[in-house]
Amino acid sequence: MSRILRKDDTLSISSSRKLVDLRNRVIHGYDTVSDETIWGIVFRHLPVLKIEVQNLLNE
C-alpha cells in the first residue's frame, strides 16, 4: 500500500494509512495488536477494501 500510494496518491482507498500502520505493527512483532483488533479489522474493513480494489481494477 505504501508503494502504491507513493506512485499515485490520488487512489481512493479508505484508511490506507491505517493499513500501512497496522502492517508495520504486526510485522515488527509489537505486542500492542490484540486478536480482537485483528478480527474487527477483518470483519469490518476487509470487505470495504476488497470492493475498493475491485473498483480500481475495473477502471
Mind listing the pLDDT tens digit for each residue in 31-59?
778 889 889 988 998 999 999 999 988 98
Count of domains forming the chain: 1
Q: Taking 80 as the threshold, does the pLDDT of residue 9 lie above it?
A: no
Residue 3, C-alpha cell as written in the block: 508503494
- pLDDT on residue 33: 81
More reliable by pLDDT, 55 or 2: 55
Domain that holds residue 14: 2-58
CA-to-CA distance for 17 and 25, rounded, in angstroms?
12
Long-range contacts of 48-51 (CB under 8 A, 24+ apart): 48/14, 49/13, 49/14, 49/15, 49/19
